[in-house]
Structure 1
Amino acid sequence: MQPSASAPVRCGLMARSAPLALLRDAGRVTVLSAPPGSGKTMVLRSWIATDDLAGRVAWVSAPRDAQRFWISIADALRGTAAGSALVRPLTPALGLDGWAVVERLLADLAPLREPVWLIIDDMQDLAADALHQVEQVVLRAPPDLRLVLASRHDMRLGLHRLRLEGELTEIRAADLRFTVAEARDLLTGAGVRLSDAALARLHEQTEGWAAGLRLAALSLAGCPDPERSADQFSGGERTVAEYLLAEVLDRQDERARRLLLRTSVLDRVNGELADLLTGGSGGEQILHDLERGGAFVVSLDAYGSWFRYHRLFAELLRRELRRTARDDIPALHAAAATWLVEHDCPAEAVRHMHELPQAPMLPEPLTGSEARVLHYLPTHLTAAEIAQQLHLSVHTVTTHLRHLYAKLGAHRRHEAVDQARALGLLT
């Protein structure tokens, strides 16, 4: 997007009530932070059009070149009705000092007496110096200069004081997710009509992600059987896969990319599991960085211990894993199953056991409790000792052992262990 005094307003913009209400009631500074394709730009354009703010909004996209950035800021502010009489023109010059420009802009804007909104888009592309300079503008700007900082991830800005003073509004991915009703409006606008059940499934699959729903609308428009196509819509769909590859996966370094691909076999991941499946270290920090970086990684608890991937992104990752490292997949499932049994997550362990190539040979799948008992069979622990380890009664453990032997077609403990290993249920 090229820098301009106001964002271009397109026909057919959706006026989404919840995000619009947040922008209308916002404090002096608004941080709009969400992954690519979350609808940040479209919400801002809709807000400008709906509230007729075109003459009062200065909009720039952050280039990496600091001189171009500040010239764009000055030009955009001069393009507003109030700023045109206050902000002096800024021209390119060798050695133009960003800090001097900040002081000049603040001096020019000091007499401002009517609201002007400065939207800085793509903040994640700003160099460190320019980011610190923006922070100074944010903290020292006159009351009638409202700032909207849009980024793919949280920026390291010293805004804690504004938060405490109630001058900071934070809008994140959860605030931008489409509701089911909004998803229906979007699809209807594209000429796509779905039953309530099909719409609910599509909304669940996309998790209300704006780009996912828009790509689904494009895919389903003119489709002879939209209900069936909606049910099959996934991260492997060509347009979705291309978007997620270009905007998310291909932007990661090799360590993060390896972690994402190899842990995609999991329903949820923590640092220890990530290190196990990648054969590396530092998995927890990488997961935190990916979450903060807007890479479709979602924290599942307040402590940031467990994470999951957005459904469409997880499907794309699994497809890429099959394409690039298909032979490694059974070993990843086996390692995950062992770790999950050891950490008292038997139900999840069983799912990975069933993904192993030999698992279908079992006449009947193992239950979670049976999987936990199976983990102790290669040891020399007695049934009573296994019961003590699992906090079960001896009777319960012997019942599980009897069922295990029957399912494995074994009569003795060592036979059950050998058969379980042959089936990939033990490593």
Structure 2
Amino acid sequence: MSYDTGGAVLAGPARFVMLPSKITCPELGAGALRRGAVADALCGVGASTLTTVIAPAGFGKTTAVAQWAFETPMAVAWCALDEDDADPARFWAVVRAAVLSADGGLNISEDVLDTSWADQAASHAALTELIIALAAHEGDLAIVLEDVHTVQDSLTSGDALSYFIRNLPSSVHVVVTSRTPLRIPLAKLRMQGRLLEVGESLLRFTAEEEARLFALGGVELDEAALARMREATGGWPAASRLLALRCEGAGLAEAERAIERARENVGEYLLEEVVSSIDDDLLDFMVSTSVVDSFDVDLAATITEEADDQVRRRIDEMATSGLFIQRLSREGRSDWFRYHAMLLEVLQERFKRLPDAERSSAARRARDWYLTEGYDDAAVTLSYWMRDWGAICGIIESRWRSLYMNDDNETVLRWAMTLPAAVLDEHPFVCAAAAMPMALVKGPVEANGLVHKAMLRLGENDDFLFALCMVQKAFLAVFECRWSECREFAEKALRFLPEDEHYLRGMMLQLTASSLQYVDPLAARRRFAEALEAQRLTGNANLICSALGNLAVLSAVLGRKAEAEAYACQALALYDEHDRERKPMLAHAHWACAVVAYLDNDDRRFSDEVRAYRRLAAVSRVPSLATSMGVVEAKRSLAVGDGEGARALFADAMTEDVLAASMVLPSIPLVRQWLASHRGGGPRDVSAPEPRRALLAAVLSFCAGDDGALDAVAKLVCDTPREDVALCVVARMLAALLSVQKGRARAAADLMREAYDMAVDRGATVLVAENAAELVPLVPVLRQAEGDAARKSADSALVRLIEEATASLAGPASALTERELEIMAVMADGATVAEAAAQLVVSRETVKKHLGNIYSKLGVHSKMQAVALLRDEGVL
């Protein structure tokens, strides 16, 4: 078994820097006995899903499992748990970090466990992803959870742990040590033979083991003395070890006297006996270092103000004396140490009796060391133990920006929630900093309450605090899709933020850009470009990636293929290839690349990019992005002949978010197909402030047989800047089709030519091809249009594009509107134009105009040919 934990350990979604001792297996002490029966039992770990080692304190649970871990050929991930790990996010972050220390090659995203643990479905989904990742380990892997009793009060952790264990692959095994029985269902595992139970009876020392223990200390017990010792200790390993330690080097008579005195209260008596026999200087060292759960030489030297060499000598003295100290070896790196839990309790009781000044001074030195070394979470825990609320507030105020910049704002909330309510109320900056993570965890009501508390205490010169409050209000508005309010708060924040506050300024520029993306995508693009420059000044890859990803998406939406690809490539280049799977913001880059692949008609790349997008989108969870991707996939499905798949994808998108669906400009055939199964449905407001939504409404009206949207579409043609390539192309195509219906052939030809030229110029002719079925009526118009040789050549290329794109379609009938199909149904029954007009309550001219459009779309010249074709296709 080997470990390579590096330096400080970054612990998953909570991203707190973890003390190395959390995921390092303790070494066996020089006097550790190899216990044959226990070792033989633990050999069954590989054949079990769960192994429980349950007994009270001092029964050698950790020693037994550590001994097995060093002997087993399988990889072992060690998790040393304590009360702080009862928080499910912390618990699973420790598990993830331990697993990666055992097998750094596993692809476990640091965001895989970034979920709502109170939501059973969400927690199970996250754990399923973790389980799938664990299955990739070659060979067997054991996950040791030491001292699970410290986290059992967290019911959420318990349910999640049960789900995790039940669904593990056969190559992964969980080993649990605990002082109390597990509170998870075990009956099924027991019946299936997947549960190995090691209990108190097996862990008790045998008489032979106790005799060996005393013999190691130079004391040979006769049978009578051994029997009295068995009566005193009851085979309790801790008591046996303490007695052996107390009697080391003594004669048999002295050993018997110690055994006799121990019979009344073996644990308390022996610990006090051992502690009282320790040299005063060494005991002072042990008491002082008990302020922390574990330490290395540097931390111990800082706490005790002793030289490193002196600290090493003291640690060696404890180890050779058999005192209850465990070495946590880290292979060539700084070793860490911890006292046995029973000894630690005695030492901490003595620490509490130290003078206040001495106790506070030692704790403060330990906390300062933690902060210097980056162990902020441990510093907050120690400050909480000291009830030093001011220190916790200070840590939050000094660390909030770096936590935010690393997507770890929830740690700010976790620290803030350790404060008493009265203390929190007195610290407005902490309230403001905790607001956004509060919204993510508990919702906007509680978050707004924190912002309100902060604003109530604003002073005359608290410009930055005011700006931070506006920042949080802008974020809260985003959570509730109140875009205009978001923009208002963000702009207020920008007025009060210092020019050198690049991080928050960049974030506010991004929020204002997001608030504009539907109304004015070009303005949004400019704002994202400003945000990118601000974020580059922070030097933080995550922030730069966020701006680049959004720029890539917007450029793709605008049809600016080269720019979209360039921004996406810059975002991807920020990270090494093996790190990209752990960066959910790269979902934006893959989304943009998928759209570019679609515009390039590159099926293989499109499929690859969609898969990459989906993997990351499962973590990043941007609903509007998922909706618009659904529309792109629907367009692609329709292009390859999967009409049913296209219909389902587009229907889902329209149900989820019409505005997001409109962003990637659904093709006219896609909308027509959807409308056929949603009669009368869909937004028809062509005056919508969002230009893409207005265009979608116009397309819906057109497909429903209503040609009254021409003025609105003409306005879009005039008002849309040419930088918005996609909207310009599609709006002109729709205007051309509406113009044909109005009998304006020349205008239709000019509009279609403009659309085609723009599409060719930007490499986006797919926008024309995907609408080819609707563009058939424009073919004769283009063939008859006047122009020079170059124009004629371009027109011929456009006609070929339309004809080639429609050649593989099921039939031209799909291009007919509902009204046109109604007219053909009546005419097929033998009605004349006049009879059809009367039956449908329209004018004869309207019927004639529709017939002309029908003949053009079907490529026929008479009613008889049209009826025959539609009957062949099964339409009539």
TM superposition shift of 1:238: 7.2
TM superposition shift of 1:43: 0.5
Q: Which runs of 5+ in 1 are unaligned?
A: 244-427
Report the AA paired with residue 33 of structure 2. M
Could you tell me which of 63, 67, 70 is aligned with 1:49? Answer: 70
Matches within 5 A, 1:62-81: 62=82, 63-81=85-103
- Cα distance in structure 2, aligned partners of 1:9 and 1:210: 15
Paired position in structure 1 for 2:30: 11
Distance 1:237 1:158, change over 3 A: closer
Paired position in structure 1 for 2:263: 234
TM superposition shift of 1:69: 1.2
**Quick check: 2:239–2:266 contact (8 Å CA) kept in 1?**
no
TM superposition shift of 1:201: 1.4
- Cα distance in structure 1, aligned partners of 2:246 and 2:112: 46
TM superposition shift of 1:137: 0.8
- Cα distance in structure 1, aligned partners of 2:216 and 2:73: 23
Q: What TM-score comes out, normalization by structure 1 length?
A: 0.51
Q: What TM-score comes out, normalization by structure 2 length?
A: 0.26
- Cα distance in structure 1, aligned partners of 2:37 and 2:242: 22
Report the AA paired with residue 232 of structure 2. Q
Q: Which runs of 5+ in 2 are unaligned?
A: 1-18, 273-876
The answer to whether residue 176 in structure 2 is matched with residue 149 in structure 1 is yes
TM superposition shift of 1:237: 5.2
Distance 1:71 1:50, change over 3 A: same
Which protein has the larger Cα radius of gyration, Structure 1 or Structure 2?
2
Paired position in structure 2 for 1:215: 242
SS at match of 2:105: helix
Higher strand share: 1
SS at match of 1:3: helix
The answer to whether residue 130 in structure 2 is matched with residue 110 in structure 1 is no
Could you tell me which of 191, 194, 208 is aligned with 1:167? Answer: 194
**Quick check: 2:23–2:77 contact (8 Å CA) kept in 1?**
no
Paired position in structure 1 for 2:751: none
- Cα distance in structure 2, aligned partners of 1:87 and 1:93: 12
TM superposition shift of 1:106: 1.3
Report the AA paired with residue 67 of structure 2. S
Distance 1:172 1:238, change over 3 A: closer
**Quick check: 1:60–1:120 contact (8 Å CA) kept in 2?**
yes
TM superposition shift of 1:66: 2.1
**Quick check: 1:34–1:151 contact (8 Å CA) kept in 2?**
yes
Distance 1:237 1:138, change over 3 A: closer
TM superposition shift of 1:16: 0.4
The answer to whether residue 59 in structure 2 is matched with residue 38 in structure 1 is yes
- Cα distance in structure 2, aligned partners of 1:191 and 1:100: 57
**Quick check: 2:232–2:266 contact (8 Å CA) kept in 1?**
no
TM superposition shift of 1:122: 1.2
The answer to whether residue 159 in structure 2 is matched with residue 121 in structure 1 is no
**Quick check: 1:71–1:90 contact (8 Å CA) kept in 2?**
no
TM superposition shift of 1:87: 2.8
- Cα distance in structure 2, aligned partners of 1:75 and 1:209: 34
Of structures 1 and 2, the one with the larger relative CO (CA 8 A, separation 6+) is 1
- Cα distance in structure 2, aligned partners of 1:156 and 1:96: 18
- Cα distance in structure 1, aligned partners of 2:67 and 2:206: 17
- Cα distance in structure 2, aligned partners of 1:92 and 1:103: 10
The answer to whether residue 224 in structure 2 is matched with residue 197 in structure 1 is yes
Could you tell me which of 40, 44, 61 is aligned with 1:25? Answer: 44
TM superposition shift of 1:79: 1.0
- Cα distance in structure 1, aligned partners of 2:196 and 2:266: 36
**Quick check: 2:54–2:198 contact (8 Å CA) kept in 1?**
yes
Paired position in structure 2 for 1:293: none
- Cα distance in structure 2, aligned partners of 1:107 and 1:200: 53
Distance 1:137 1:92, change over 3 A: closer
- Cα distance in structure 1, aligned partners of 2:113 and 2:138: 29
SS at match of 2:23: coil
- Cα distance in structure 1, aligned partners of 2:192 and 2:221: 46
TM superposition shift of 1:102: 1.8
**Quick check: 1:102–1:137 contact (8 Å CA) kept in 2?**
yes
- Cα distance in structure 2, aligned partners of 1:30 and 1:12: 26
Report the AA paired with residue 233 of structure 1. A
- Cα distance in structure 2, aligned partners of 1:140 and 1:93: 20
Q: Could you list the per-position Cα deviations for residues 320-357 of structure 1 after superposition, in whole angstroms to 9, with x for gaps in the alignment?
A: xxxxxxxxxxxxxxxxxxxxxxxxxxxxxxxxxxxxxx
TM superposition shift of 1:151: 0.9
Distance 1:144 1:196, change over 3 A: same
- Cα distance in structure 2, aligned partners of 1:109 and 1:50: 22
SS at match of 2:52: strand
Paired position in structure 2 for 1:131: 158
Q: How many residues align?
A: 241
Could you tell me which of 61, 74, 79 is aligned with 1:59? Answer: 79
Report the AA paired with residue 204 of structure 1. E
**Quick check: 1:70–1:101 contact (8 Å CA) kept in 2?**
no
Matches within 5 A, 1:24-423: 24-26=43-45, 27-51=48-72, 55-62=75-82, 63-81=85-103, 84-89=105-110, 98-126=123-151, 127-223=154-250, 225-236=254-265, 239-240=268-269
- Cα distance in structure 1, aligned partners of 2:269 and 2:88: 33
Report the AA paired with residue 128 of structure 2. E
- Cα distance in structure 1, aligned partners of 2:112 and 2:267: 45
Q: Could you list the per-position Cα deviations for residues 169-195 of structure 1 after superposition, in whole angstroms to 9, with x for gaps in the alignment?
A: 111100101001111111222333322
Q: Could you list the per-position Cα deviations for residues 298-319 of structure 1 after superposition, in whole angstroms to 9, with x for gaps in the alignment?
A: xxxxxxxxxxxxxxxxxxxxxx
Report the AA paired with residue 177 of structure 1. R
SS at match of 2:193: coil
